Amino acid sequence: MMNRFRKWLYKPKRSDPQLLAQFYYADEELNQVAAELDSLDGRKDPQRCTLLVNQFRSCQDNVLNIINQIMDECIPSDRANRDFCVKFPEEIRHDNLAGQLWFGAECLSAGSIIMNREIESMAMRPLAKDLTRSLEELRNLIRDQALRDLNIYTEKMKESLKHFDVLFAEFELSYVSAMVPVKSPKEYYVQQEVIVLFCETVARALKLGYLTQDMIDDYEPALMFTIPRLAIV
């Protein structure tokens, strides 16, 4: 009863630009869509079910985007390291990856197998459960704070943000590595070494007159065979 009264009394305005207020309404919309999905029989209305699933994932993207902004503002120097993202294939690195990861974590937590990868799914399930539990606790904390004071980030919320950020980064690396080929640190290092070697080879070949700038500018097919051979020499 008191919670409902506090919600009615202190609920932020929808037009408020502050991050906690934005989160409050984004999270409320997510909960509404989730409730409708839970009550819907997808077999009777598959079209409506598909529409709601897409809307649900869009809401997840929005909530995570605001959480990310809160972390940038609240714990900018304590963010989890994400240097591993440079190893991801280009087609994986897109704006709604975070929402897909959340959706995947919930599916794994519920016992699903992701893309017929049973061994990888079983290995990731404990981490997925920790992540979804951490995210649920964080959402409750932020939602509660939005009803108290939009200008304050409590120490408890900061610690929860840090914990969630670390778990999300760990799950991101595990999940993407299981779904697509991702170079190991050693493979990535070797690739960088080869790139540097080829650059030095081209520079030396130009200096010695083995190649011309026109050949490079015109992307001469012969270069594809010449540069690796020169590098070996």
Judge whether 105 and 128 are in contact, CB under 8 Å: yes
101-105 LR contacts (CB < 8 Å, sep 24+) = 101/168, 101/171, 101/172, 101/175, 102/60, 102/64, 102/132, 102/135, 103/57, 103/60, 104/128, 104/175, 105/131, 105/132, 105/135, 105/171, 105/175
pTM of structure: 0.73
**What pLDDT sits at residue 194?**
74
**What pLDDT sits at residue 10?**
67
**What pLDDT sits at residue 229?**
63
Q: Which two tokens stand for residue 165?
A: 């950020």
Q: Which residues of the chain have pLDDT under 70?
A: 1-10, 91, 93-95, 181-185, 187-189, 218-233
- Other Cβ atoms closer than 10 A to 40: 15
CA proximity to 213, closest of 223, 224, 200: 223
**What pLDDT sits at residue 171?**
94
**What pLDDT sits at residue 230?**
60
d(Cα 183, Cα 90) in Å, to the nearest integer? 13
Q: Where are the domains of the chain?
A: 1-182, 186-230
